[in-house]
Structures are given as structure tokens and as C-alpha cells.
Structure 1
Amino acid sequence: MTTPYSQVPGIRVLLGSAIALALTGCASHLRPPAPLENRTPSSSAARPAEPERLPPGHENAGKPGYYTVKPGDTLIRIGLETGQNWRDLSRWNQLENADRIEVGQVLRVVSPSQDPTQAASRPVVTPRIEPKPIAPPPPAPAAGATAASGAASAASAPAATPAPPPPPAPPAPAPQGRDGDDDVNWMWPAQGSIVSSFEDTRNKGVAIAGKEGDPVYAAADGRVVYAGSGLRGYGNLIIIKHNDTLLTAYAHNKTLLVREDQVVRRGQKIAEMGSSDTDRVKLHFEVRRKGKPVDPTKVLPSR
């Protein structure tokens, strides 16, 4: 007796699989296409770009009396470059932390009372002139007046105003340096010989030789505006401000004998010579006028 194919176990499984595949294929032809996705930009991509952050004080860049911070600057270095006390710079710019300034930041480097931009915008006040009444002329003399009355009138006329005395002679000028710096009486800060001369671009002062521990003197009367080792390349440094224009710097000391804000006198011992942050014992001495280095040998008296 012949068994139908449908009754054979293996054939039954194969037939079932074939039928299932055929139905799946038909269903795939009848399935509607998938809907298009409406892909909108994400919220982060749609957010407008934030404006570029500008450094503090950028609106004053390029104005007289302002300084733009460069890479490597510190407030002490800016004070030396502009001839100002770094503490004044911190106060004028309302800095919460004097050690935190950023490249591109614009700092005020003149006192607000000396700001040239404010002086230019200050209105000019014209003094008010009160009008005064004009006195009427005296009456003409009556006809037939005697010669005596004429003589009396001449006698009563005011005398001629004497010439003013010559102006007093100007006072003798105060002692000055050889470069004409008013009110500053200079002296050499150390006794040794010069071993490195001033060069406008390479060496901003002179180097004076000596032995470790030799005295370093204040070159003129003034006030200490910095005493420390926070300025790279200068070692133990003292900066003295002598007036609104001039300051001096004394670098590479072994020991500092004065403190900030201390008043010093010409010839006062302020440090001991050393070799801090340099290759030999010496005093590096600078004179700066409005922050610009000048040749000390043209300011100090001749030896």
C-alpha cells in the first residue's frame, strides 16, 4: 500500500515551510510602505550660537591711559612697564584677585583723576561777568570860571599810576640728574664697576659688579612700591617710585631690607647684593620714566 506524501513526516514539514514562505512573500507585497520620518533638528542643534566672550575692559582698548594684557604679563610687570604701583593698578581696576588677569584684558594704568579721556570730555565753565552801571560824565564848568577854580580842578585830578615793580627772581632750581629730572637728587646705588651696559632692546638697565653681601643703596628719595621675588628674571627685586614720572628697580639681591609702602631716603641701605635668578653676583639697576627704560648713566651723576 502506497503512503501519500502528506503522510510522510519529513515531507509534511517541508510542505508546511514552503506554504509559510509563500504566504510571507505575498504579505510583503501587500504591506503598505513605511511612513516617512519627520526628522527635525535636535534642540541642541537649533539653539543659536552663543556670542563670543570679550575680555574685561575691551571697550577701552587703544585709549590713552589703558594697557592691554599680553601673554606672560603679571600686575607687577605691568606696574614696572607703566611706572605705577601694582597695588594702585589693582585698586583702579577693582580687581578681586591681583594674580588673576587674562590675555586681552584692558587695564587702567593712570589714576582716574589724571584720565585724559575724562579731562577732554569735562565741560569748560565760563565765569559769569556781572554788568556794572557806567557813571555819568562830570558836568562842564560854568562860563566865566576863574583861573583859580581851574587850578583847583587840576590839583584835585588823580596822580599818574606808578609803574608796577619788576617780578621777583625765580627760585634756584632743585638738584637734578644729568638728564634734567626735576626734584630728584641721584646717587649711584652700588660702588662696583659696570659689567653690562644699557641697550634699548636687550638690556633695560646696567649691571654693577660686586661681592655677595655688598650694600645696595636707594638712588634717590622715594617710596617702595614692590619688594619680593614675583617677577621672573629679576630675582629678589625692589622697585622705588620717586615721583609721578620716575621709578628705579634693583634686582638679583641676596637680602631685601625694606618692605612695600616704606619711605626711603637717598643713600639708605635697602638690600644686600646677590645672585638670585642670575648667573653671577651683581646688581641689575633700572631707571624708568613713565615706564620706559632710560640709560641710568645719563641720569646718575658722573663718577
Structure 2
Amino acid sequence: MSKGPISQFVEKHYLHFNAAALVDAAKGYEEHLLDNGKMMVTLAGAMSTAELGKSLAEMIRQDKIHIISCTGANLEEDIMNLVAHNSYKRVPNYRDLSPQEEWDLLENHYNRVTDTCIPEEEAFRRLQSHLFDIWNNADSKGERYFPHEFMYQMINSGVLEQYYEIDPKDSWMVAAAEKNLPIVVPGWEDSTMGNIFASYCIKGEFKATTMKSGIEYMMWLADWYKENCAGKGIGFFQIGGGIAGDFPICVVPMLYQDMEMHDVPFWAYFCQISDSTTSYGSYSGAVPNEKITWGKLDITTPKFIVESDATIVAPLIFAYILGW
């Protein structure tokens, strides 16, 4: 496939240090797919609010991603941007804000993520009203679903289309819902919608069991991994650190060590984009070779780490893989 201007620029100018690591990782990802390998992408931080969907959605549509692990925040914030984009507020001077100015944002129902403020009424409450109906329907019927499955139901019902404020092609959750892409969402409870669902359970309106749990996500992931790891295997592309990456990468040592399935292959490719310091016991900042000792990666697994800002690096790697 011929490469477009972004890819050509990257190949010409990104020749050393972290820039070269970016190119190496992108080429490794591309080679893995060309060998019929599959790829998991993990999303930490606020990548959805950073509008990664502009490139991530196309990666999903072109089958460059086969499964996603993300935080509850990334699961919901892509949809929030879809339905409330025009009400978002940007604060370029966020480093200079006083505690009083931060309080004023709260009073005006804005929740700040670095330089971007999410509008509570247009984003959180708009989703809440429709999710309540979907949760209530399942609860009353005794049905149970994973967090992302409820989100898929909401998107696929078309109930949100009246609110769309960006091109839905730039929403990775819309692309994922259309493909019914496998997603795992560890620790969903700490997201805004997770907090809201918990509040309904505390008030006795819903049963907690209506929402499938993290343990059930791990059990489901174990089955998915076994069914999809043949041939070239499954790669692991980690954006940021945290539970979005820590949770799914552990499925391999669990199957091998705890289930004693000694024919289960290691992850077949590994790349992490991170600016975490390699020190102080930080797992997010650990070099890939440390994962060999935990039974996650093999000696021969292609390993890359790009120590930089994921909001800059991830779109460039995706652009390269897409041939832009």
C-alpha cells in the first residue's frame, strides 16, 4: 500500500530517539497485521476526550483492531463528545487557574480534563436519562450485560442521533458498536456512569448484578484469547498505563500458570506509549522486558516503548498504519 503525506513525513523526519521508536512500533504493528495477527488496543487516560476517535474509528472500520480494553471514562467520554461537543469549553491557560476559578467551573457544571471541560448537563445527564431506560429494562427482565454492551444498545437504538454534534465517523464507539467489536472495561465502577449506576443500586432501584462484573470480563477475555491466539497470535498495543493495560495483559499468565494451559502463546507483539518514569516500582513505567518475568511476553516478542505524549504519538502511529 502506498503511503500518504503524513506517513511519508514520519519516515523522512522521525529517524532517531523516541521518534524512531514511533516508526519502529508502527512498522511492527503493520507487519503483525500483514502476517494475519490480531491486535488488542488499550486506552488509558482521557484519550476519548482528546478525540482519538478521529483516527481510532477508522482503525476499527478497517479491521486494524480486533479488541479494545479501556477505562470506563474512555468508554463514555467518546459518546459524550459525540452528543455534546458544541458545549465543551477549552481552557488553554489551565495551568494558571486558581482554586477559586476551578470552583467556578464546578459551579457552572464543567468538569475539567487538563485544558478541556466536559459540560455536565449536556454530556453526563443526556446519557444518564437514556441509559436509565436501558438499565431499567434489563433489570426488570432479569437480564444482565457488560457495561459496553449497554452502551452498544444505546448507540444502536438510534436514540442519540438527535443530539449528534460531530460526524459520527469520528466516534470510535459508533464504529465499535457497528462492528460489535469486543471490549473489556476493567474498573468500570469508577467512571461517571459507573458512579450513577451504583447510586441507583444504593437507592434500591436496580440490582447490582444487572451489570456484569470485572471478574466476568476476565473470564470472557480468557475464552476470547484462547479462541483467537492461533497462528501469528495477538498483539498488545498499550496507550498509557493503568488498569486498561494491566487488566488484559494478565490473561496470558493466568491461563498458563493458574489454568495450567501450557500451550497458550504469549502476546505476539507489544508496544506501550507512556511518559511514566521507569522507577519507584511503577508498572506503567516498567520496560517491556520486565513483563517476561511475569509470563506475559516471550524473549522473542517484538517490544517497543515510545516515551512520549500519547495524544501526539497514537494518532501518528494510526495514520501510518492506515497509510495516511
Taking structure 2 as the reference length, what is the TM-score of the superposition?
0.21
TM-score (normalised: structure 1): 0.22
* Structure with a larger share of its residues in strand: 1
